[in-house]
């Protein structure tokens, strides 16, 4: 099956890569069409994903939804085939990112103002030896709140909710596979002092508890069980 890994009957993923902070890219296969979760951190990662799908004999996703605005999940958008989808908030934020200049000086200045963080600069410089290759594209379709998709024999529920990681987070729930794709949402907010806000954590944890699922699928690590994730989150330090 090449580089693609299978999670459940209908869900596959291209595994994360630590080196340049590439996230897991998920592929949810319906009878009528398929949905991808996240675009990748560059056109190169998107193409790697498509190559792996090709090797597995799968059609390219008709629709790609991005989980939040961070570069490592969205900078591949320009290379995505088919339609692209995000929350309204993600698109608004990406419009601002489109204005950013990509020189080391401009990146350092954004670190100084807190618009961006050193970890991103470091990984972006590794992923893009030529910074001119960075292209920030906007998703074609946006939504807010909740959205249901019928992929053909497979229901997917997308829900935009503020998370401890980012206010524009989209969660992808596939009830019949008992899968919740969380990507980075249950991490701390790296843009705001690396902390967990108690209110957001409580709200998000209640959301997890309310769903019937087994696989808690992350952005930059292997999937966990729901129980394991809830236990981990119950032990983090947070502030009011
Ligand atoms: Zn993130
Ligand atoms: Zn990420």
Taking only the tens place, the pLDDT of each residue in 95-130 is 999 999 999 999 999 999 999 999 999 999 999 999
Number of Cβ within a 10 Å radius of residue 224 = 18
Maximum distance among all Cα pairs of the chain, rounded to whole angstroms: 50
Q: 57-100 pLDDT, tens per residue? A: 999 999 999 999 999 999 999 999 999 999 999 999 999 999 99
Least distant ligand from the CA of 38: 2
Is the separation of the CB atoms in 26 and 13 below 8 Å? Answer: yes
Centre of ligand 1 to C-alpha 180, Å, is: 17
Query: pLDDT at residue 53 above 70?
Result: yes
The answer, as to whether pTM is greater than 0.75, is yes
CATH classification of the domain holding 132: 3.60.15.10
Q: How far apart are CA 5 and CA 177, in angstroms?
A: 15
Nearest ligand for residue 187 CA = 1
57 CA from centroid of ligand 1 (Å): 30
Tell how far the Cα of 191 is from the centroid of ligand 1, in angstroms.
Answer: 9
Nearest ligand to the CA of 22 is 2
pLDDT band at 1 (very low <50, low <70, confident <90, very high): very low
How far is ligand 1, taken at its centre, from the CA of residue 165, in Å? 7
Domain of 203, in residue numbers: 5-239
Token pair for 137: 């594209």
Domain count, the chain: 1
């Amino acid at each position: 099956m090449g580089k693609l890994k299978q999670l459940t009957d209908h869900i596959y993923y291209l595994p994360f890569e630590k080196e340049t902070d590439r996230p897991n890219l998920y592929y949810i296969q319906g009878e009528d069409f398929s949905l991808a979760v996240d675009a990748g951190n560059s056109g190169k990662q998107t193409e790697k994903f498509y190559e792996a799908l090709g090797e597995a004999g799968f059609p390219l996703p008709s629709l790609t939804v991005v989980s939040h605005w961070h570069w490592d999940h969205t900078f591949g958008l320009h290379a995505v085939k088919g339609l692209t989808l995000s929350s309204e908030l993600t698109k608004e934020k990406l419009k601002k990112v489109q204005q950013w200049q990509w020189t080391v000086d401009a990146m350092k200045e954004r670190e100084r103002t807190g618009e961006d963080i050193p970890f991103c600069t470091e990984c972006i410089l590794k992923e893009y030896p030529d910074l001119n290759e960075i292209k920030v594209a906007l998703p074609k379709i946006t939504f807010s709140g909740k959205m249901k998709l019928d992929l053909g024999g497979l229901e997917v529920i997308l829900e935009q909710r503020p998370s401890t990681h980012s206010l524009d987070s989209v969660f992808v729930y596939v009830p019949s596979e008992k899968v919740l794709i969380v990507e980075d949402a249950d991490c701390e907010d790296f843009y705001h002092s690396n902390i967990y806000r108690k209110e957001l954590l409580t709200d998000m944890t209640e959301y997890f508890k309310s769903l019937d699922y087994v696989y808690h699928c992350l952005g930059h690590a292997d999937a966990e069980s729901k129980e394991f994730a809830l236990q981990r989150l119950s032990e983090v330090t947070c502030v009011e």
